[in-house]
Structure 1
Amino acid sequence: MTRSPGDPGPLRWARYTLGFRLPEENRDWVRHDLTDAGWRGRILVRHLALMIPICAVLALLPASWGIRVLLVALVLGSSTFTVLISANELRRARLRQHRLIPPR
């Protein structure tokens, strides 16, 4: 897979996923990430990159396996639903964070 110009690389991508602002040199990549086709899917991938480790820790809590499965399903399902219904607002906030003009 080829890297696009301004691609932040794995470490910066992780920081971007956590909500930090990328440097100016990655501005075109951020614009592409948040405005080109498939931007909702990329928001969902970033969300899952954050939630899967959290769900793995929750799955290790001391409880019966049924409770752990239900807890992970509840946390992952509800957080994913929340991200999906607020994707437009999340995108606008991230664009403003990087000093880009959000689409109407």
Structure 2
Amino acid sequence: MSRLPGDPGPLRRLRYAAGFRLPEENHDWVRHDLTDAGWRGRMLARHLALMVPVCVLLGLLPAPWGIRVAVGLLALLSSTFVVTVNSGDIRRARLRQHGLPTPDDPDQSRPPR
């Protein structure tokens, strides 16, 4: 797969996944990431990339192994549920954060051009 115009490097992608705003030069990539087909899957993948290490750290806390596994799974499943349910609102907030148009119709995936 070829790189898109404005494709951020690994460090900027990590900052973007953590919720930071990318510079103007990356806005075409942000528009693609949040509006093209598969945006929900990419959003969920970003969330998992951030949450899996947190859940592993929770699993290292001192406790019986069953509780450590349960705490890690509870954190992962509950946060994934929240991101899945609120994905449309998260997307609109990220588009606004970067100064890009947001969809008028909640059923449409692409914003007006």
Amino acid paired to 1:55: C
Q: Which residue matches 2:84? A: 84
Aligned amino acid, residue 66 of structure 1? G
| 1:70, distance to aligned residue in structure 2 (A) | 0.7
Report the counterpart of residue 18 of structure 1 in structure 2: 18
Cα distance in 1 for residues equivalent to 2:74 and 2:52: 13
Deviation digits for residues 37-82 of structure 1 (CA, Å, limit 9, x no counterpart): 0000011011011101111110100011111111111000000000
CA RMSD of aligned residues (A): 0.8
Measure, in 2, the Cα distance between the counterparts of 1:95 and 1:77: 26
Between the aligned residues of both structures, percent identity stands at 68
1:19-98 alignment to 2 at 5 Å?
A: 19-98=19-98
1:3 to partner: Cα distance: 1.8
Runs of 5+ in structure 1 lacking a partner? none
Superposed structure 1 runs of 4+ greater than 2 Å apart? none
Number of aligned positions between the proteins = 104
Structure 2 unaligned regions, length at least 5: 105-113
Matched AA of 1:25:
E
Q: Which has the higher helix share?
A: 1
Report the alpha carbon displacement of residue 2 of structure 1 after superposing the two structures with TM: 2.9
Q: TM-score, normalised by structure 2?
A: 0.89
Shift of 1:83: 0.1
Cα distance between partner residues in 2 of 1:20 and 1:54? 19
2: CA distance, partners of 1:47 / 1:92: 16
